[in-house]
A and B are shown apart, each in its own frame.
Chain A
């Protein structure tokens, strides 16, 4: 079987997904969580009976807290999101909520704008750093490979693949943010960075096999076209690419369905990124190498 014969069809799905993701991000944008933008979150439980969300809106209206978003949580709780609050404002808010029923504070989190901005800036730097270091690492690891495709091309292809792996969860969260109010917080960025680290693996595994097969062919003076080598390498590595991702997805699924609320979005981001990463390492990265090789051959020949 020669997988690379069908490479045109392989590009369709990643291309559509990437375009959808870009559209979602442009159209709806991402909702930053309070740890990145500043603001506060108050989670309370009404121990007797939970009042209606409208009643809460009405009660907090005169407190002058800016826009307050009220979201029910669990059996009898609410999460209120608003601008960052001083301790006095928090007390006023709590006692106001207390007028509607017996209330208990579960968690309160208020982040000043400076700290949020700093974290956001750091996040950008961290993402850039990871990408740059991974390009450098791949260029280094594949420095010996130059025929018929130059080593830096492996690096570029890996980055395009990573871009796809990151775009998919970003797009998903733009959509989730628009429809369900999902927020992008520091943990989301952690998940993205982790995806960068993990999904590059699958790509490396395939590239590594291509490198090995090219070397073996040369040693045995065997003539084989580049796309045949790539196709054979993919077939040889497909089981372990899928299985290494499967093991991670299994534990992440447990974390998503059973784990603490605090890390649910984190697990979801990673699962989506892992699936995208596995798909792209098999069906996007290596076929792209083949297309690139063919394209430059046509130009030179």
Chain B
């Protein structure tokens, strides 16, 4: 008896400490604050499908890893708090489609996000064909002075030299012919690119070379001599701002595989806040109603169920912070549901306890026997829950995974809280059902 009471006090103190941890770290924005999913915090969730059909199979994994890195760099340059960038394969079910998933908490301007991610500066060098020197652009586009020109598609031939061979880009202020200093972009090629550039320039001296950015012709300087040091200067209609932007985008890298936006989800912060408030309210009201039901129906075992339920809730909240679990609306629903399920075990135990008492067992023995017998039913039902939870987790998009994780975790933690904790408390109180008061506390609904 003494040891049981000792254990009960230790459990209460430990639960109190965990509860304090949960309370103290909430709303601080620190490492142990609750992590809210996009549907609660507001933000943007983008799914791109990546087209790897042009790549040989052995390069796919590498290219996707590079793709992830490049996008991550761009997203980070944008200054988003805790963005998530991941690649995923649709599996045999989705036709093996490769996807890139980008989550941007706090960003609700999809437009801006899509532009930033899709900003692929495609740099190309193309030779001007013989006889087209004065016919580089389509006539209809040359009316606005200073705008990038839409090239005449017939006038150029591919050289194979693209931004892929870039090692770095830099902003330089060159002498633009007149006395003003004009911003230019200097690109340095890698070894392979240097070789290629050197071949192109030495074989085509005195021919104009078109420099293309995203399919538009930026400039078409004439090759004066072979360039072997792997450096090219791009000039033409830049101001300091646009040149700096081009340098940044070139350095952040071109995408190794083309991507197409296939799904978008944006949730405004207001909607998320409302969902959080509603979720908390539903949780508290549900919990209070549950407590009232348990105490009115089962009396003392009901009170103990409520105490162990409180400990369950505190443990779960602490786990959410420690693991950490990203909470979504579905996750909160899963948690509220799990509170209702966690008390199931207490119901089974309390009912069994009543039966054992009715069968004439002494209180202490009835409690021990009640727990032992209820255990089989609790175990079996929890196995069924876990089966459902595991499959849900597998089935899941991130939304459902959140639910499945919370649900599965809840089943495991509740087994602990219902069995061990409730049992310890009930035994530690040492009430005898033989006394009149004990009879009232333990034998609800039983006739003498």
A residues in contact (CB < 8 Å) with B: 35, 40, 43, 84, 86-87, 90-91, 104-112, 114-115, 117-119, 121-123, 125-126, 129-130, 133-134, 137, 141, 186-187, 189-190, 193-194, 196-198, 200-201, 204-205, 208, 236, 239-240, 243-244, 246-255, 257-263, 266-267, 270
* A1 CB to nearest B CB, Å: 16
Taking a contact as CB atoms under 8 Å apart, the answer to whether B381 and A243 are in contact is: no
Assembly CA distance A257 to B285 (angstroms): 10
B-chain residues with CB within 8 Å of residue A110 when the two chains form the complex:
263-265
Assembly CA distance A105 to B95 (angstroms): 34
* A107 touches which of B267, B297, B380 (Cβ 8 Å): B267
| Residues of B56-110 contacting chain A, CB below 8 A | 90-91, 93-95, 97, 108, 110
B-chain residues with CB within 8 Å of residue A198 when the two chains form the complex:
341, 384-385, 388
Listed by A's residue number, 6 A-B pairs whose Cβ atoms lie within 8 Å are A90-B110, A105-B266, A108-B266, A198-B341, A208-B380, A251-B339
* A250 touches which of B47, B111, B293 (Cβ 8 Å): B293
Assembly CA distance A93 to B164 (angstroms): 37
Assembly CA distance A133 to B394 (angstroms): 15
Assembly CA distance A190 to B445 (angstroms): 37
B-chain residues with CB within 8 Å of residue A112 when the two chains form the complex:
47, 49, 262-263
A-chain residues with CB within 8 Å of residue B267 when the two chains form the complex:
106-107
Tell me, yes or no, whether B431 is within 8 Å of chain A by CB: no
| Residues of B27-43 contacting chain A, CB below 8 A | 39
Taking a contact as CB atoms under 8 Å apart, the answer to whether B285 and A258 are in contact is: yes
A-chain residues with CB within 8 Å of residue B445 when the two chains form the complex:
239
Assembly CA distance A257 to B287 (angstroms): 14
Q: Which residue of A lies closest to B381 (CB)?
A: A201
* B279 touches which of A244, A249, A260 (Cβ 8 Å): A260
B residues in contact (CB < 8 Å) with A: 39, 47, 49, 90-91, 93-95, 97, 108, 110-111, 114, 261-268, 270-271, 274-276, 278-279, 281-283, 285-287, 289-290, 293-294, 297, 329-330, 332-333, 336-337, 339-341, 343-344, 347-348, 351, 355, 376-377, 380-381, 383-385, 387-389, 391-392, 394-395, 397, 399-400, 403-404, 407, 445
Taking a contact as CB atoms under 8 Å apart, the answer to whether A261 and B275 are in contact is: yes
* B92 CB to nearest A CB, Å: 10
Residue from A110, A197, A201, A252 having most chain B Cβ neighbours under 10 A: A197
Given A198-B385, A255-B282, verify A114-B95 contact (CB < 8 Å): yes
Taking a contact as CB atoms under 8 Å apart, the answer to whether A118 and B90 are in contact is: yes
Assembly CA distance A217 to B90 (angstroms): 55
* B391 touches which of A130, A201, A236, A250 (Cβ 8 Å): A130
* A130 touches which of B271, B286, B388 (Cβ 8 Å): B388
Assembly CA distance A160 to B276 (angstroms): 39
The count of A-to-B residue pairs whose CB atoms sit within 8 angstroms is 223
Q: Which residue of A lies closest to B333 (CB)?
A: A263
B-chain residues with CB within 8 Å of residue A249 when the two chains form the complex:
340
- Could you tell me the dominant secondary structure of chain A's interface residues? helix
Assembly CA distance A36 to B432 (angstroms): 57
**A-B contacts besides A126-B395, A255-B333, 4 pairs, CB < 8 Å:** A90-B110, A247-B343, A251-B287, A260-B278
* B361 CB to nearest A CB, Å: 16
B-chain residues with CB within 8 Å of residue A258 when the two chains form the complex:
278, 281-282, 285
Assembly CA distance A112 to B265 (angstroms): 11
Given A240-B351, A250-B289, verify A106-B271 contact (CB < 8 Å): yes
Q: Which residue of B lies closest to A111 (CB)?
A: B263
5 A-B pairs closest in CB distance: A197-B388, A254-B286, A112-B262, A251-B286, A260-B275
B-chain residues with CB within 8 Å of residue A133 when the two chains form the complex:
387, 391
Taking a contact as CB atoms under 8 Å apart, the answer to whether A126 and B381 are in contact is: no
Given A187-B400, A204-B381, A250-B293, verify A259-B279 contact (CB < 8 Å): yes
* A259 touches which of B97, B263, B333 (Cβ 8 Å): B333
B-chain residues with CB within 8 Å of residue A125 when the two chains form the complex:
93, 395
Assembly CA distance A143 to B193 (angstroms): 71
Taking a contact as CB atoms under 8 Å apart, the answer to whether B95 and A109 are in contact is: no
B-chain residues with CB within 8 Å of residue A196 when the two chains form the complex:
388
Taking a contact as CB atoms under 8 Å apart, the answer to whether B340 and A87 are in contact is: no
Taking a contact as CB atoms under 8 Å apart, the answer to whether A255 and B286 are in contact is: yes
* B185 CB to nearest A CB, Å: 28
* B403 CB to nearest A CB, Å: 6
Assembly CA distance A66 to B94 (angstroms): 25
Assembly CA distance A65 to B266 (angstroms): 19
Q: Which residue of A lies closest to B115 (CB)?
A: A87
* B385 touches which of A84, A111, A197, A252 (Cβ 8 Å): A197
* B117 CB to nearest A CB, Å: 11
A-chain residues with CB within 8 Å of residue B261 when the two chains form the complex:
86-87
Assembly CA distance A123 to B343 (angstroms): 29
Taking a contact as CB atoms under 8 Å apart, the answer to whether A266 and B384 are in contact is: no
B-chain residues with CB within 8 Å of residue A208 when the two chains form the complex:
376-377, 380
* A47 CB to nearest B CB, Å: 11
Taking a contact as CB atoms under 8 Å apart, the answer to whether B395 and A193 are in contact is: yes
B-chain residues with CB within 8 Å of residue A270 when the two chains form the complex:
337
B-chain residues with CB within 8 Å of residue A141 when the two chains form the complex:
380
Taking a contact as CB atoms under 8 Å apart, the answer to whether B344 and A247 are in contact is: yes
Assembly CA distance A249 to B337 (angstroms): 9
* A71 CB to nearest B CB, Å: 16
Residue from B279, B281, B383 having most chain A Cβ neighbours under 10 A: B383
Assembly CA distance A198 to B344 (angstroms): 11
Taking a contact as CB atoms under 8 Å apart, the answer to whether A260 and B274 are in contact is: yes
A-chain residues with CB within 8 Å of residue B297 when the two chains form the complex:
243
